[in-house]
Amino acid sequence: MTKYKNTVLSKNIYLEFISAIVLKLVLDYAYIYITLKVNIDGFYHGNFYLFNYLIGWILALNIFLFLQYKRDIKIYPIFLMLYVFYILPNIVYYSFENLSLKFLIFILAPYIVILLLVKNFDLKIDNKLKLNVDIKYLIYFSIIFALVTLFHLIWTTNADFVLDFRKVYQFREKYDISNNGIWGYLNNWVKIFVLFLFAYALYTKRYFWAVSSILIMFSFYIFTGNKSTFVSLFIVLFFYILYKIKWNTSTILFFFIFLFGSIVIFAKTTGEIWLISIAIRRALYVPAVLNFAYFEFFSKNEFIYWSNSILKYFFEYPYDKNFPFLIGEYLKKPDTYANTGFIAVSFAHAGLWGIVFYTILASVIMNIINYFIVDKMKFIQFSIIFLPIFTFFTVTDLTTTILTHGLLVSILLIIFIYSTKDNFKCVE
């Protein structure tokens, strides 16, 4: 029996390794024949160097093998998705441009260190955290919170809405009116609660609430123009399908091979570049461009040392405008707010010491998340926590994500679910 299991495991590892190779090839193809040719932003030049390409393959495959070594941690699927959306795009961008290997190592190393430091451990605090609370109260709160926030959004935007993906950026100026003060936080936090509501409804087969959640999220999209609001629904559906089937690593990789491959084929046969802009360029390669831009700029200019925020009374801010606008100018995109993930931002703040500090902080956060994941409720907890994690890796600063983008709220929610797991009504 043991020999049979080892044989199956060995076959799975080979299949997973081949899947990782195929996915890398698909992303290479998407970059060469789609991103370079469309090149809406003007960021991509195609300065191919064989050395860069070979180094890219070595790094991609070795990081994947290390990821498989850590496959027993509870949040392994999240790290696997970060491999797809963070590690591979940065490697592909490096492989086809004349970029610094040193900067690539700086970009990839924190992921590896965080993955190394995340472990399954037992604090023996179950009794202290156990809550005898019915989950329905969280459901009611989520519904009321969503409706109040949506009403405020409609009121402050005069019920103006957008349906066309191409027009969302022009529309967001109107949305900014409703995003001031405390509402700037609430408008972001509410997505976490609606995702919880949607995931719980699917898990317990309460399809009326599932449809209601979709309508609420769609309403937030049309009144804000924020595509992540709409895309987040597919994240929940992805995890739902994942845990309804007997998934493994190759299942997830094959899904993304099919997804990105289909998008590339669709774009090449129809000429519809907007889909590429959303699904390939914006989600994969723009964050990679910004990562390298941050490292290039701040390796030659002064660090910020958090003088734009918590340490403003101790350090003088060295620039005349917010640093994301500086990066926009550096990329010849003036007036563009070029924000990116926590690794590049940490370098902007304090160089290598900034990266070390943020990596330690992120490791603590990821260990907390890993600890409070419950097997029978992984689907719901992953649906809640993935978007904030993805945000601080690819979109914005870690400290900003903790409060503004709902990471803290998401962690509190998964702790609440963990604490009420004995009362949690789950449908297998």
Same domain, 242 and 253: no
- How far apart (Å, rounded) are the C-alpha atoms in residues 47 and 112? 27
pLDDT band at 230 (very low <50, low <70, confident <90, very high): confident
pLDDT reported for residue 248: 81
Better-predicted residue by pLDDT, 421 or 48? 48
pLDDT of 173 > 60? The answer is no
DSSP-H helix ranges across 118-248: 126-129, 136-156, 168-175, 183-203, 207-224, 227-244
pLDDT in tens, 292-338: 999 999 999 999 999 988 888 888 999 989 999 999 999 988 888 89
Q: Which pLDDT band holds residue 1 (cuts at 50, 70, 90)?
A: very low
139 versus 291: which is more confidently predicted? 291
Which pLDDT score is estimated for 23? 96
Identify the CA nearest to 92 among candidates 329, 285, 235, 307: 285
Using the Cα atoms of residue 265, residue 266, residue 267 and residue 271 in order, give the sign of their dihedral. Answer: positive
Q: At residue 381, does pLDDT exceed 60?
A: yes
Q: pLDDT tens across 266-280, in order?
A: 877 877 766 666 678
12/53 same-domain check: yes
pLDDT class of 372 with cuts at 50, 70, 90: very high
**Please, what's the b/e burial string for 283-299 (b: 16 or more CB within 10 A of its CB; e: otherwise)?**
bbbbbbbbbbbbbbbbe
**Closest to 279 in 3D by CA, of 248, 323, 234:** 234
Radius of gyration from C-alpha coordinates of the chain: 22
E strand or H helix that includes residue 104: helix 101-117
Bigger pLDDT: 165 vs 34: 34
Say whether pLDDT at 189 is over 50.
yes
Q: Are residues 116 and 129 in the same domain?
A: no
Report residue 77 as tokens: 């699927």
- What is the phi-psi region of residue 39: left when phi exceeds 0, alpha when psi lies from -120 to 50, beta otherwise? left
Other C-beta atoms closer than 10 Å to the C-beta of 243 total 19
- Asked if the structure places residue 110 within a domain, the reply is yes
- 105 and 162 fall within a common domain: no
Query: If you average pLDDT over every residue of the chain, what do you get?
Result: 85
Burial class (CB in 10 A: 0-12, 13-18, 19+), 166: exposed
3-class SS at 422? Answer: coil
DSSP summary character for residue 321: S
Q: What is the pLDDT of residues 332-363, one digit of tens each?
A: 888 888 999 999 999 999 999 999 999 999 99
Residue 47 has pLDDT above 90, yes or no: no
DSSP code of 135? Answer: T
**Looking at the predicted structure, is the pLDDT value of residue 288 above 70?**
yes
Within 8 A by CB and 6+ apart from 123, the residues are: 371
Q: Is the CB of residue 407 less than 8 Å from the CB of residue 392?
A: yes
Q: Is residue 214 part of a domain?
A: yes
**Nearest CA-CA partner of 397 in 336, 355, 335:** 355
- What is the Cα–Cα distance from 178 to 171, expressed in whole angstroms? 12
pLDDT over threshold 50, residue 417:
yes
252 with 277, same domain: the answer is yes
Q: Is residue 310 part of a domain?
A: no
**Do residues 113 and 1 both lie within one domain?**
yes
| pLDDT of 315 | 87
SS3 label, residue 307: coil
312 occurs within a structural domain: no
Question: Whole-angstrom Cα distance, residue 316 to residue 305?
Answer: 9
98 domain residue, yes or no: yes
User: Is residue 313 situated within a structural domain?
Assistant: no
181 by Cβ neighbours in 10 Å (0-12 / 13-18 / 19+) ranks as exposed
* pLDDT score of 180: 66
Based on the fold, state whether residues 115 and 162 are members of the same structural domain.
Answer: no
pLDDT digits (tens, 9 = 90+) for 80-115: 999 999 999 999 999 999 899 999 999 999 999 999
Same domain flag for 281 and 358: no
Query: What percent of the chain is modeled with pLDDT above 70?
Result: 85
Total number of domains constituting the chain: 2
Task: Identify whether 327 is part of a domain.
Answer: no
Residue 374 CA neighbour count, 13 Å, CB half: 17
Predicted pLDDT of residue 276:
67
d(CA 263, CA 41): 19
Answer whether residue 408 shows pLDDT above 80.
Answer: yes
**What is the model's pLDDT at position 360?**
97
pLDDT tens for each residue of 106-134: 999 999 999 999 998 876 666 566 666 67
**pLDDT, tens digit, for every residue of 147-159?**
998 888 888 777 6
Neighbours of 246 (CB within 10 A): 7
In angstroms, the CA 407 to CA 399 distance is 9
The pLDDT of 15-33, averaged and rounded, is 92
Q: Which domain holds residue 271?
A: 1-120+248-299
Eight-class DSSP state of 35: I
173 and 61 in one domain?
Answer: no
Domain stop point among 265, 283, 299: 299
In a domain, 45, yes or no: yes
* pLDDT mean over 33-54: 83
11 and 98 assigned to the same domain: yes
Q: Are residues 147 and 220 in the same domain?
A: yes
Q: Residues, the chain, total?
A: 428
**Residue 278 sits in the same domain as residue 213:** no
Among 235, 270, 299, where does a domain finish? Answer: 299
